[in-house]
Amino acid sequence: MMKDANYFVEKIGMLPHPEGGFYKEIYRSADVIYNSDVHPRNICKAIYFLLEKDHKSHFHRIKSDELWFHHEGETL
């Protein structure tokens, strides 16, 4: 049985994401590096990210690699 978005938002305490949808940070490395703007960044972090039906994630540029895994729901 497929669960609705509210189930996941409430179950794991997801927050609104600045580019749309919801997220929950699940890992952040203790080690940092400095990006080209000389700002510290964690070497790695991981989040769960959720978009509800008819919601969009806005295009944006980032200075880090991203990995995407599809766990449940419709295709993108």
Does any domain span residue 72? no
Q: Which residue has the tokens 């690699």?
A: 65
Residues facing residue 27 across a β-bridge: 46
pTM flag (> 0.85) = no
Instruction: Give the C-alpha separation, 18 to 53, whole Å.
Output: 17
Report if residue 37 sits inside a domain: yes
> What is the Cα–Cα distance from 23 to 10, expressed in whole angstroms?
11
For residue 63, tell me if it sits in a domain: no
Name the residue range of residue 15's domain. 5-50
| Residue 73 in domain | no
Q: Per residue in 1-58, pLDDT tens? A: 667 889 999 999 999 988 888 999 999 999 998 878 888 888 898 999 988 877 777 7
Residue 25 domain flag: yes
Structural domain includes residue 71: no
Is 13 among the domain residues? yes
Which residue type is seen at 38?
A: V
pLDDT, position 29: 93
Q: How many folded domains does the chain comprise?
A: 1
Residue 64 belongs to a domain: no
Residue 11 has a pLDDT of 94
The pLDDT assigned to 2 comes to: 66
